[in-house]
Amino acid sequence: MGIDQRTQSDHHIWWHNAAVYQVYPRSFFDGNGDALGDLVGVQNKLPYLAALGVDAIWLSPFYPSPQHDSGYDVADPRGVDPMYGTLQDAQSLINAAHDHGLRIMVDLVPNHVSQDHPWFQAALAAGPGSPERARFHFLDTHSDEPPNNWVSLFGGPAWTRTTNPDGTPGQWYLHVFDSSQPDVNWTNPDVAEDWIRTLRFWLDMGVDGFRVDVAHGLVKDMNYSDLPDPVGLTEALRFDLDDGSPEMAAKRLLIENSGFFDRDELQDIYATWRAVLDEYAGDRMAVSEAWVPPHRASRYVSPTSLHQIFGFDFLVVAWDAEIMQGTILKAMSAVADVNAPPTWALSNHDSPRVVTRLGGGEVGQARARALAVVAHALPGAMYVFQGEELGLADADLPDSARQDPVFSRTKGAQKGRDGARVPLPWSGAAPPYGFTESTTNTWLPQPDDWAQVTVEAELSDPRSILNLYRTTLHERRAVTGPVTFVDSGSENVMIFSRDSGFHVAVNTGSTPWDIGAMFPNCSVMVSSDMQVGGKEESLPPNCAVWFIA
């Protein structure tokens, strides 16, 4: 059933409980034989995605870019980089996705542009005090020090000095990320206007939603005041895992007071965006990537702001039933007061893959499956990062292969995010595993031991994680009702119920747990180890089940 028919037959708002699959285009599938993923490649694989049971696709940036941050350095937000195809390919993909009953979301990167963006090139050429420079944050200093002590999230100072035409040192410009990603100045009306143009451009092409990159970062402290604790902030800003500890909470507070995150004026920007989105039929939506503490989250999801905020809690949650329960409650209550659906993600292109994070090897595999079985039973929207459904672990890359600016800017102190971004294995027993027909090496090398985790291999294995995802992603559409936690009597077992006797249990301990003793009539529907039948009495360690009782 195509999108249009589905919208007419019921008034269900699709994004309230959608499962959204994140495509990282470079590494998804090569449709034109040049060893790089592209839009035609995504279109070729729409049947795979529809069969997986997702409702929408979020495409990470495919815009013209010099690729200093894998496309998050955008030189033209209304174009397609030739390495990914053409605007016609984008249109064709949007239409074909709709024919498959899949929505399309595209990534917007409003905090910064690429150094190759015509605006930044014009600003460099025009010189200090010009209207061209006013679209960015250019400052003078009277010494060799940057204008203030702000730090880049990718390491090092957040300021880079320009050179005047005569070779003397010039003004500094702000970049909260890489020096190739100058931050734009959102108090400048050109910026706001141009972004509305970009929204309309993609809405007119038929996209159903947007993922808003660094949505909490657009507005800066225009006094550019020094930070009280830049060293602590540098630590806090690392793309590290939040283990829920008080130390991490303190780091988050530092970020909150950083001078460039989560400022109140942001909401005026999103009110204008919301008005534009609301003009269009079809429940167009926007999800914000905003790393803010729970008590600030609801500000990004209201009738005058954006529609969703990513819930990053499962990216970092400890393998501990009690912590997991607290995390779920916290995530749901963070958006409950504005009546917005929560969202869940086990992984994305910025974090270690969930298998690796939860211990790697067989244990990591088992826990990743179990966490998915828990997450897929929760209300709200589910975001699935490509390859998560295959149970991929982070690839162990040689430093010489690393491309993430986090690696180079920290001089190797942080390995960066490349391990999760390796091209997907589709078929066959050796690289490139059907990803491309080219014999050129893929942009990040694929591991030699991926023969068992290709789509082809997993489809033919009834116990594969891919078949688990295909089951739970389809079945989750029928799961309704509020979440009610049930006391299991064990600190290692978390249980919650939804409507009609539907229950979920997960065992984070090291010994089996006796389900039958508590639920004598339980009937297991799905087990994360895919061993349904004959095991109803016992929930093994690192396993989760859906059951009726």
- Build a one-symbol-per-residue string for 213-252: x at contacts with ligand GLC by CB under 6 A, - elsewhere: xx--------------------------------------
The distance of closest approach from Cβ of residue 72 to ligand GLC in the complex, given in angstroms and rounded to an integer, is: 3
**Does 432 sit behind a cis peptide bond, omega within 30 degrees of 0 on the bond before it?**
yes
Q: Which residues of 436-469 are buried (b: 16+ CB within 10 A; e: fewer)?
A: beeeeebbbbbbeebbebbbebbeeeeebbbbbb
Which DSSP helix (H) or strand (E) runs through 381? strand 381-385
Residue nearer to ligand GLC on the CB measure, 208 or 213: 213
What is the torsional sign of CA 205, 210, 211, 214?
positive
Give DSSP secondary structure letters for 231-247. Answer: HHHHHHTSS----S-HH
- Build a one-symbol-per-residue string for 292-331: x at contacts with ligand GLC by CB under 6 A, - elsewhere: ----------------------------------------
The distance of closest approach from Cβ of residue 370 to ligand GLC in the complex, given in angstroms and rounded to an integer, is: 26
The distance of closest approach from Cβ of residue 225 to ligand GLC in the complex, given in angstroms and rounded to an integer, is: 23
Please work out the total of residues on this chain that contact ligand GLC, with binding judged by CB under 6 A: 9
- Selected from 29, 84, 177, 186, the binder of ligand GLC by CB under 6 A is 177
Backbone angles phi, psi at 507, to 5 degrees: -115, 110
Residue nearer to ligand GLC on the CB measure, 116 or 350: 350
- Build a one-symbol-per-residue string for 333-352: x at contacts with ligand GLC by CB under 6 A, - elsewhere: ----------------xx--
Residue nearer to ligand GLC on the CB measure, 21 or 177: 177
Residue 297 · residue 333 · CB < 8 Å: no
* Pairwise CA distance, residues 31 & 44, whole Å: 7
Residue nearer to ligand GLC on the CB measure, 30 or 178: 178
Residue 365 token pair: 């595999």
How many CA atoms within 13 Å lie on the side-chain side of 70? 25
Residues shown for the chain: 549
* Pairwise CA distance, residues 249 & 236, whole Å: 10
How many CA atoms within 13 Å lie on the side-chain side of 424? 28
Report the residue closest to ligand GLC, judged by CB.
72
- Build a one-symbol-per-residue string for 367-406: x at contacts with ligand GLC by CB under 6 A, - elsewhere: ----------------------------------------
Residue 357's nearest CA partner among 326, 297, 316 is 316
Restricted to residues 487-526, the positions that interact with ligand GLC (CB under 6 A) are: none
Residue 258's nearest CA partner among 235, 288, 228 is 228
The distance of closest approach from Cβ of residue 297 to ligand GLC in the complex, given in angstroms and rounded to an integer, is: 16
Residue 77 · residue 40 · CB < 8 Å: no
Residue tagged 């013209």 (tokens): 64
* Pairwise CA distance, residues 223 & 440, whole Å: 50
* Proportion of the chain in helix, strand, coil states, percent, rounded to 5: 35, 15, 50
Residue nearer to ligand GLC on the CB measure, 214 or 473: 214
* Pairwise CA distance, residues 307 & 280, whole Å: 14
- Angle among Cα 377, 378, 383 to the nearest 5 degrees reads 95
Which DSSP helix (H) or strand (E) runs through 467? helix 465-475
Q: Which of 81, 132, 208, 213 is catalytic?
A: 213
The distance of closest approach from Cβ of residue 65 to ligand GLC in the complex, given in angstroms and rounded to an integer, is: 11
Residue 388's nearest CA partner among 471, 455, 480, 334 is 455
Residue 307 · residue 285 · CB < 8 Å: yes
* Pairwise CA distance, residues 218 & 194, whole Å: 14
Residue 442 · residue 432 · CB < 8 Å: yes
Question: End-to-end distance of the chain based on CA atoms, in angstroms?
Answer: 33
Q: Which of 4, 247, 279, 399 is catalytic?
A: 279
Residue 7 neighbours by CB under 8 Å, 6+ apart = 14, 282, 283
Instruction: Specify whether 213 is catalytic.
Output: yes
Neighbours of 514 (CB within 10 A): 13
Residue nearer to ligand GLC on the CB measure, 48 or 239: 239
- Build a one-symbol-per-residue string for 272-291: x at contacts with ligand GLC by CB under 6 A, - elsewhere: -----------------x--
Which of the 8 DSSP states describes residue 38?
-
Residue nearer to ligand GLC on the CB measure, 30 or 69: 69
Instruction: Specify whether 194 is catalytic.
Output: no
Restricted to residues 59-118, the positions that interact with ligand GLC (CB under 6 A) are: 69, 72, 109
One-letter amino acid of 487: D
The distance of closest approach from Cβ of residue 119 to ligand GLC in the complex, given in angstroms and rounded to an integer, is: 17
The distance of closest approach from Cβ of residue 281 to ligand GLC in the complex, given in angstroms and rounded to an integer, is: 29
- Build a one-symbol-per-residue string for 181-220: x at contacts with ligand GLC by CB under 6 A, - elsewhere: --------------------------------xx------
The distance of closest approach from Cβ of residue 287 to ligand GLC in the complex, given in angstroms and rounded to an integer, is: 12
The distance of closest approach from Cβ of residue 210 to ligand GLC in the complex, given in angstroms and rounded to an integer, is: 13
Residue nearer to ligand GLC on the CB measure, 261 or 273: 261
The distance of closest approach from Cβ of residue 349 to ligand GLC in the complex, given in angstroms and rounded to an integer, is: 6
Residue nearer to ligand GLC on the CB measure, 58 or 546: 58
Residue nearer to ligand GLC on the CB measure, 68 or 98: 68
Q: Report the catalytic residues.
A: 213, 279
User: Footprint of ligand GLC on this chain (CB under 6 A)?
Assistant: 69, 72, 109, 177, 213-214, 289, 349-350
